[in-house]
């Protein structure tokens, strides 16, 4: 049995107000007045207040830009990976320390699952973390790479399998993304959408087969579907100038078409009714996505309060985001029983769900 004991988070040092990011984008994209107004409208509609980045450029005057150099060509992929290498481990370690504080010591971690889609190398993030935290050199390690926003649930599924088959397992899942290092200077709808939505952050979750806590949730079931009609509308491709995100305006419509049946199938898999769900852990992929899910599932504003709060404070950080939402939910649970339904979306179009409960 896998119990979610705690969740820890970490953010880069640079907090950027969305309005200041807009001003940066208008300059970096060299927009005319008409396009600048259109972009301003989209930023206003995003309902994002702040986003975090490992890069300081977004709130600096143009003369002080370092990553985005005026008049220069796009940074190459290797340059972006150097920034990933220098920042991802520190964020991951900070999130893990926050997660296990006053619960277990680093040497008691038996399994480590790293999750990321914004950078990779070998030796990779898992070994960097192992060395930095001085974990056992026998610690079980595995990585979930390039799956996007739903990857945390996929990792949670792996973690539960470990807990179900291993006594005294203490599994750390750490999701770390530095999305902003893949900013592209060419003004396209895809590039503008990505630069409007995504931020950087890390979240670590402790899953255990033996530990418990007042806030602990027991993972009950998982369910996933792929909607191939959306495979060209959400994608994440490697290029010579970084990773290129395609995020079509049709994504909310596709989710709207499929979300009701997906949720019902997941509820059937978990042997539970929608009326028994007390908390909804919805990945805040964007304002419109939350709106269509709320409408199709007849959810209240309170049901989506944690998802909307995370979107407002941090934007979409890809894989860590749903763990930020789950942490807010767990921090707010004071009574039992409760049942949490989680869902996230990513390239494919892949839709992953989980159900966790507190008796």
Structure-token pair, residue 167:
């006594």
Percentage of residues in the chain having pLDDT higher than 90: 76
pLDDT score for 82: 94
pLDDT score for 130: 97
Q: Which domains does the chain have, with CATH numbers?
A: 3-208 (3.40.47.10), 217-358 (3.40.47.10)
pLDDT in tens, 63-85: 889 888 766 778 899 999 999 99
pLDDT score for 238: 86
pLDDT band at 178 (very low <50, low <70, confident <90, very high): very high
Task: Kindly state the helix (H) or strand (E) to which residue 257 belongs, with its residue range.
Answer: helix 251-270
Q: Indicate the angle between helix axes 33-45 and 189-197, nearest 10 degrees.
A: 40
| Residue 332 to residue 330: CA distance in whole angstroms | 5
N-term to C-term CA, the chain: 14
Q: Indicate the angle between helix axes 18-28 and 189-197, nearest 10 degrees.
A: 150
56, 66 contact by CB (below 8 A)? yes
pLDDT in tens, 191-220: 888 899 999 999 999 999 999 888 899 999
DSSP state of 214: T
233, 248 contact by CB (below 8 A)? yes
**271-295 mean pLDDT:** 96
Q: Could you give the C-alpha distances from 202 to 8, 10, 112, 160, 256, in angstroms and in order?
A: 8, 5, 15, 21, 28
| Residue 224 to residue 271: CA distance in whole angstroms | 15
pLDDT score for 73: 77
E-only strand ranges, 162-278: 170-178, 200-208, 217-226, 234-239, 242-247
347, 83 contact by CB (below 8 A)? no
* Residue 324: other Cβ atoms inside 10 A: 26
∠ Cα 327 332 337 (to 5°): 105
**106-112 mean pLDDT:** 97
What is the overall mean pLDDT for the chain?
Answer: 93
113, 135 contact by CB (below 8 A)? no
313, 50 contact by CB (below 8 A)? yes
Beta partners for residue 111, in sequence order: 140, 171
31, 39 contact by CB (below 8 A)? yes
pLDDT in tens, 121-156: 888 999 999 999 999 999 999 999 999 999 999 999
């Amino acid at each position: 049995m896998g119990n979610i004991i705690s969740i820890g988070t970490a953010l880069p040092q640079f907090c950027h107000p969305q309005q200041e990011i807009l001003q940066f984008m208008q300059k970096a994209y060299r927009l005319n007045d008409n396009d600048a107004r259109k972009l301003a409208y989209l930023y206003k509609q995003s309902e994002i207040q702040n986003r975090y980045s490992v890069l300081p450029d977004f709130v600096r005057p143009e003369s002080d830009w370092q990553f985005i150099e005026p008049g220069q060509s796009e940074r190459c992929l290797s340059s972006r990976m150097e920034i990933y290498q220098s920042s991802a481990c520190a964020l991951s370690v900070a999130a893990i320390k926050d997660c296990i504080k006053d619960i277990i010591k680093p040497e008691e971690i038996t399994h480590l699952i790293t999750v990321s889609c914004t950078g990779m190398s070998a030796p990779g993030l898992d070994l960097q973390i192992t060395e930095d935290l001085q974990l056992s050199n026998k610690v079980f390690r595995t990585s979930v790479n390039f799956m996007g926003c739903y990857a945390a649930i996929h990792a949670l599924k792996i973690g539960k399998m470990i807990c179900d088959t291993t006594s005294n397992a203490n599994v750390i899942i750490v999701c770390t993304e530095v999305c902003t290092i893949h900013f592209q200077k060419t003004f396209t709808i895809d590039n503008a959408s990505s630069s409007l939505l995504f931020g950087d952050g890390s979240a670590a979750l402790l899953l255990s087969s033996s530990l418990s806590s007042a806030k602990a949730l027991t993972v009950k079931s998982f369910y996933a579907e792929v909607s191939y009609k959306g495979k060209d509308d959400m994608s994440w491709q490697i290029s010579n100038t970084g990773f290129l995100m395609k995020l079509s305006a049709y994504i909310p419509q596709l989710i709207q078409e499929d979300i009701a049946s997906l949720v019902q199938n997941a509820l059937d898999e978990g042997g539970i009714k929608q009326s028994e769900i007390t908390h909804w852990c919805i990945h805040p992929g964007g304002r419109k996505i939350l709106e269509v899910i709320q409408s199709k599932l007849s959810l209240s504003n309170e049901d989506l309060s944690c998802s909307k709060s995370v979107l407002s404070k941090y934007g979409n950080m890809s894989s860590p985001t749903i763990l930020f939402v789950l942490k807010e939910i767990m921090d707010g649970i004071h009574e039992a029983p409760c049942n949490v339904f989680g869902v996230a979306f990513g390239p494919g179009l892949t839709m992953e769900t989980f159900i966790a409960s507190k008796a």
